[in-house]
Structure 1
Amino acid sequence: MLVEPQTDKEREVYESIRVVEDPEIGLSLVELGLIYQVQVVEDKAKIIMTYTSIACPAGPQMSQDVINHALRVDGINEAAVEVVWSPKWDPREMASEEAKMHMGIFD
């Protein structure tokens, strides 16, 4: 689950990575709920995220895209992604309403 960005810089990084899409689903990682936390300390950003599955073939590409977009934020000179498997991604709980509709999930 998303830990809300706490600082302006964390919000800037979060908004910058909002455009990164899962190439298989065609939706933003943020909208899918795959971004769990953005941490910024000084000029370093750390993004904690997951993939839709442990065998996601697009995982490395998505991680690199997240890093590239984090580095676009003024004042961010280093960025890293930590991929975690807990909590397990559950689109029914973590995806936005728009993403659920796109994926055909109706609660």
Structure 2
Amino acid sequence: MSDEQNSAPEAASQNQSAPTPDPAPAPPESHSEKATEEDVYEALEEVIDPELGLDFVSLGLVYDVVIENEEVFVTFTLTTPACPIGPQVSEQMREFVGDLPGVSAVHPKMVFDPAWTPEMMTDDAKFALGF
């Protein structure tokens, strides 16, 4: 047999792909993943002050985030104690933070001490509001 005859079956077998196994399916999202403080702050950026049109993080309204096991505790304030959106904000925090992997419960806590001041805003928020 010549080299050409030997290489023809070899070339044909190289062109025929052996069936490749399906890739392993991605594991389902599990509670073994833990949300980080950064993840929580990022989720809280979805909570928007309806009057100002800016998020609570940029406005400096989120005072603290504590993660204990699968529970997240968020301490926040409002621009003024007379602001009526407290319940709505708490619900949004539960929704957005609760969607993070590894979070089983979200506990928003509204406080007014220390009182919020415009100096607590990020520079971008100050610029957007003309400060």
Give the TM-score category using the shorter length: 0.7 to 0.9
Q: Give the number of the structure whose alpha-carbon radius of gyration is greater.
A: 2
Q: CA RMSD in A?
A: 1.4
* TM-score normalised by structure 1 residue count: 0.85
Sequence identity (%): 36
Counterpart in the other structure of 1:63? 90
In structure 2, do the counterparts of structure 1 residues 95 and 24 end up closer, same or farther at CA, with 3 Å as the change threshold? same
Higher strand share: 1
Candidates 42, 47, 51, aligned match of 1:24 = 51
Which residue of the partner structure matches residue 48 of structure 1? 75
Report the Cα distance in structure 1 between the residues aligned to 2:107 and 2:41, rounded to whole angstroms. 13
Segments of structure 2 that go 5 or more residues without pairing to the other structure are 1-33
Give the superposition deviation at 1:24: 1.0
Name the CA distance, whole Å, in 2 between partners of 1:53 and 1:8. Answer: 30
| TM-score, with structure 2 as normaliser | 0.71
Q: Where do 5+ consecutive residues of structure 1 fail to align?
A: 1-6
2:123 is aligned with 1:103:
no
> Which SS does the other structure have where 1:30 is aligned?
coil
User: Which 4+ stretches in 1 moved above 6 angstroms?
Assistant: none
**Per-residue deviation at 1:12?**
1.1
Cα-to-partner distance string for 1:15-66 (whole Å, 9 max, x where unaligned): 1111211011100100000001110000000000000110112221112111
2: distance between equivalents of 1:11 and 1:46? Answer: 14
Q: Give the secondary structure class of the aligned counterpart of 1:99.
A: helix
Aligned equivalents of 2:35 and 2:86: distance in 1?
A: 27
AA at the equivalent of 2:42: E
